[in-house]
Amino acid sequence: MDKEIKSFTVSIYTENNIGLLNRISAIFQRRHINIESINSSFSEIEGVSRFTIVVNMTESQIKKIIGQIEKQVEVIKAYYHTDEEIIYQESCLFKIKSDLLFEERQIQNIIKESNAKIVTVNKEFFVLEKSGRKNEIELLYRELSAFGIMQFTRSGRIAVTKEEMKITEMLAAFNN
């Protein structure tokens, strides 16, 4: 049996209904699994929502959880993938005192090297946006925290798979 705990990205296509987030998160909760990150948005299919959930567990555990998610009436299809099987990103925002931009030369270098983007600047603060992988964001966080961060927030992971997901065909099959 596989005992190795890995990071899995779960993609769930669902109907867009109230309470479904609750129903899905309860499946993780009852097995005492912590959700590392969660994101919900509309998908490539009209009227269909897509959840992206990151969890750490063994493959045999995630298989069982996928089965229990798929069995929910309003879930169309659920998939799980390892990090190697997907293209994924997270996004974050830093709010930093504007003075530092001029007083600490180093900050300008950090911004350039990290490929972060300045979203807005005013007299009091500027906002920096960075998209990338978790470790890149964490690196930028460490570098900037030396100078003081007024506010920081990071989004959940969003991901697309390298392989095709045959969800559209599944829905087309139902309509016929």
Partner 1 sequence: MNTETVKIKQGKTKTTVRISGSEAVVKCLLAEGVDVLYGYPGGAIMPVYDELFKYQDKLHHVLTRHEQGATHAAQGYARISGKVGVVMATSGPGATNLVTGIADAQIDSTPLVCITGQVASHLLGSDAFQETDIVGISTPVTKWNHQITKASEIPEVIAKAFYIAKSGRPGPVLVDITKDAQFEEFNFNYEKCTGIRSYKPVPKTDILSIENAAKLINQAKKPMIIWGQGIILSEAEEQLKAVIEKAGIPSAWTILGASAIPTSHPLNIGMVGMHGNYAPNKLTNECDVLIAIGMRFDDRVTGDLNKYAKQAKVIHFEIDPAEIDKNVKTDVAVLGDAKESLSQLLSLLNENSHPEWHQKFKDLYAIEFEKVIKNDLHPTKEGLTMGEVLNEINMQSKGDAVIVSDVGQHQMIACRYAKFNQTKSNITSGGLGTMGFALPAAIGAKMAAPERDVVAIIGDGGYQMTIQELGTIFQTKVPVKIVVLNNEFLGMVRQWQQLFFDKRYASTEMTNPDFVAIAKGYHIEAKKVIKREELADAVKEMMACKDAYFLEVCVEKEDNVFPMVPSGASVSDIRLE
Residue pair 152/93 in contact (Cβ under 8 Å)? The answer is yes
Residue 117 beta carbon to partner 1: minimum distance, rounded to whole angstroms = 38
Tokens 């829905």 correspond to: 171
Q: Is 164 in the site for partner 1 (CB under 8 A)?
A: no
Residue 13 beta carbon to partner 1: minimum distance, rounded to whole angstroms = 8
Q: Is 5 in the site for partner 1 (CB under 8 A)?
A: no
Q: Is 176 in the site for partner 1 (CB under 8 A)?
A: no
Q: What CA–CA distance (Å, rounded) separates 89 from 160? A: 9
Binding residue for partner 1, selected from 11, 14, 43, 52, defined by CB under 8 A: 14
Q: Is 19 in the site for partner 1 (CB under 8 A)?
A: yes
Residue pair 7/54 in contact (Cβ under 8 Å)? The answer is yes
What is the x/- site pattern for partner 1, positions 26-65, by CB under 8 A? x---x--------------------------------xx-
Q: How far apart are the first and last CA of the chain?
A: 41
Residue 66 beta carbon to partner 1: minimum distance, rounded to whole angstroms = 9
Binding residue for partner 1, selected from 10, 75, 86, 100, defined by CB under 8 A: 75
Residue 80 beta carbon to partner 1: minimum distance, rounded to whole angstroms = 14
Using alpha carbons, select from 149, 107, 119 the residue that is nearest to residue 141.
149
| Cα torsion angle, 100, 103, 104, 105, sign | positive
Cα 16 versus chain centre, distance: 19
Q: What CA–CA distance (Å, rounded) separates 36 from 28? A: 11
Contact residues for partner 1 (CB under 8 A)?
14-15, 18-19, 22-23, 26, 30, 63-64, 67-68, 70-71, 73-76, 171, 174-175
